[in-house]
Amino acid sequence: MTSGRVFDLGSSTVTEAEIIDFATRYDPQPFHVDPAAAADSIYGGLIASGWHTCAMFMRLMCDGLLSQSSSMGSPGMDEIRWPNPVRPGDTLTGSAEVAEARRSASKPDRGIVRLVSRMHNQHGDPVLTMIGTGFYACRDS
């Protein structure tokens, strides 16, 4: 993975049922689980949990990049932003840009990659940006 390289991660469409199912388990705030209450909220309708938005991005990341890689997990994420809500029926498209790639000094069998991740909806509005770090096994170790 070379700095500046951008991986297109494809698209996925989310249904109202998926939004409610995720939020019922993990984030049961009214504007995530109750369409009527959501319509009366500042959001004017049901929106996905931000954690669901992250999880949907992760699925694109797995299918579009990690399944062909030697991913060894991640120590964390920085600067997660949800600039616009995700709504039922939205089609979300993801990308990941390599910000930095280097070999670990302490564990030279693995590389450390910083990715700037982005996801937008069918209108081109950004719904997720974040900076994350991942570990990958090096091919030559």
Question: In whole angstroms, what is the distance from residue 33 CA to residue 37 CA?
Answer: 8
Q: Is residue 12 close enough to count as binding a second copy by CB under 8 A?
A: no
Q: Is 77 in the site for a second copy (CB under 8 A)?
A: yes
Which range binds a second copy by CB under 8 A, 2-10, 20-28, 91-99, 115-123?
20-28
Residues 96-125 that bind a second copy (CB under 8 A): none
By the rule CB under 8 A, 56 interacts with a second copy: yes
Provide the b/e sequence for 74-111 (b: ≥16 CB within 10 Å): eeeeeebebebbbbbebebbbbbebeebeeeeeeeebb
User: Would you count residue 139 as binding a second copy (CB under 8 A)?
Assistant: no
CA 132 to centroid of chain Cα atoms? 10
Task: Rule CB under 8 A: choose which of 83, 89, 108, 126 binds a second copy.
Answer: 83
Q: Which is nearer to a second copy, 4 or 53 (CB)?
A: 53
Which range in 1-9, 47-55, 88-96, 111-119 contacts a second copy by CB under 8 A? 47-55
Question: Which residues in 15-47 are b (16+ Cβ under 10 Å) and which e?
Answer: eeeebbebbeeeeeeebbbbeeebeebeeeebb
Cα separation, 88 vs 91, in Å, equals: 9
Q: Among 54, 92, 96, 113, which residue sits at the site for a second copy (rule: CB under 8 A)? A: 54
Which residues here bind a second copy, judged by CB under 8 A? 22, 25-29, 31, 41-43, 47, 49-51, 54-56, 58-59, 62, 66-67, 71-83
